[in-house]
Structure 1
Amino acid sequence: MPDGLIGPNRRNAWTARPGGVSLLRPARAPRPVTVEALPQTVTLNLAATALIVVDMQNDFCAADGWLASIGVDITPARSPIPVLADLLPRLRAADVPVVWLNWGNRPDRANLPPGVLHVYDADGTGGGIGAVLPDGRGPVLERGSPSAAVVAELEPAAGDVHVAKYRMSGFQDTELDSVLRNLRVDTLLFAGVNADQCVLATLMDAANLGYDVLVLQDAVATTSPPFCLDATLYNVRQCFGFTLTGTALAESL
């Protein structure tokens, strides 16, 4: 931060001077953008919007990652890549924060209850979170390992924000809410995988916390059966917020 500014970033900073401090945050002019969406057209304020990209990491989306190693067809999980590759530079140019929300567990897994570990290791043989992949990569979903890194095709930029998560929801036991509030955003765009699992769980918690939530439906995907994605998009439109396409948003920018 420049001298005289006190805060986590330029969006949420006091101004200090000898003998006094101004609590007035920097003013940000509204930057409205209107986009076709479902169930209604929406107008976003880009000055108060952030993009959350969920789990676009090697373990879920790379050919040599964990899911591929256990026989899961990751083709659907890779479908958001070209949409995001086009959209991310446009959002950054519009000063919209990009938040990478990836599974990234503690090496000792000390904060993970049996219910979370069981999801990925149903028979208790140790093949889930923390396991080392056959070629020596991994450990699976461990913070700081190649497994938890963003896929190569979506290289993060220097100003992006990274938050590690440990549950389906990125808000549980993490600093995500504090990060977003310090960015002074109230509208969240969601992209990533799996749409019916981690994306939806994070979106629901965001809606419950009072954020406006929108899913970029061509920038989310799932390795679950197609009806799971259909139900997810239906429920988002019916109960929580809106769906739109990243392509339409990119055009509006």
Structure 2
Amino acid sequence: MTTLPDRPNTALLVIDVQSGVVADAHNRDGVIANINTLVDRARAEDVPVIWVQHSDEHLERDSDAWQYVPELTRHDAEPLVHKNYGDSFEATDLEDVLAERGVGRLVVTGAQTDVCIRSTVHGAFTRGYDVTLVSDAHTTDDFGEGLPPAQQVIAHTNLYWHWQSAPGRHADAVETEKVTFTKS
């Protein structure tokens, strides 16, 4: 249903599951286990796995905090997109990577729910992609200071993404066990 012509394929995005990003994240281990499940399934089904890695003044490139968590292993043949903004498309080669693979549908996982995940799902959707947010495979921190706790941020994001709509595009939020990499 994507509005991108000649893009029948799906890709799995793994966004910013870096040591410093998820160190204090809600349900960190459960989310990483779910992402691992999806990475294994995507590889078994020959679905591209695209890794996204953030850096900025608070997350220095090549630092220990910048590294992907050791529980996740990227294969050398799998693209790695470096970014400096919340939206994984902004000032990166992600669009080119997806176009080369004929991808019009994204299955999105990672961190932080309230920043990079939200920015990327919205960025993808406005660019014409169908976007499935994996409801139990994204996370964030409890930031305090009168803000909602992480569990509420995640639940709210899942709720509104499930109901997101636009002409010619499909959005949904589904649990890991219900993810399919084929069009439904």
TM-score of the two chains, using structure 2 as the length reference? 0.80
Unpaired segments ≥5 residues, structure 2: 1-7, 143-148, 166-170
Output the aligned Cα RMSD: 2.1
The reply to whether residue 58 of structure 1 matches residue 19 of structure 2 is yes
The reply to whether residue 212 of structure 1 matches residue 135 of structure 2 is no
Aligned pairs (5 A) from 1:1-253: 48-62=9-23, 73-105=24-56, 129=57, 140-224=58-142, 225=149, 226-240=151-165, 241-249=171-179
Equivalent pairs counted in the alignment come to: 163
Cα shift readout 1:115-150 (whole Å, capped 9, x = no counterpart): xxxxxxxxxxxxxx2xxxxxxxxxx52223332211
1:152 is paired with a residue whose SS is: coil
The higher relative CO (CA closer than 8 Å, separation ≥ 6) is in 2
**Distance in 2 separating the partners of 1:184 and 1:191:** 20
Cα shift readout 1:188-218 (whole Å, capped 9, x = no counterpart): 0000111222111101000000000001111
**Distance in 2 separating the partners of 1:234 and 1:76:** 18
Q: Counterpart amino acid of 2:173?
A: T
Q: Note closer, same or farther for the CA distance 1:96–1:88 as it changes in structure 2 (3 Å cut).
A: same
The higher radius of gyration belongs to 1
1:186 is paired with a residue whose SS is: strand
Unpaired segments ≥5 residues, structure 1: 1-46, 63-72, 106-128, 130-139
- In the alignment, is the contact (CA less than 8 A) between 1:207 and 1:213 conserved in 2? yes
**Distance in 2 separating the partners of 1:238 and 1:196:** 17
Q: Note closer, same or farther for the CA distance 1:141–1:78 as it changes in structure 2 (3 Å cut).
A: farther
**Distance in 2 separating the partners of 1:228 and 1:220:** 11
1:75 CA displacement: 4.4
2:128 is paired with a residue whose SS is: coil
- In the alignment, is the contact (CA less than 8 A) between 1:164 and 1:174 conserved in 2? yes
4+ aligned runs moved over 4 Å, structure 1: none
1:141 is paired with a residue whose SS is: coil
**Distance in 1 separating the partners of 2:54 and 2:112:** 12
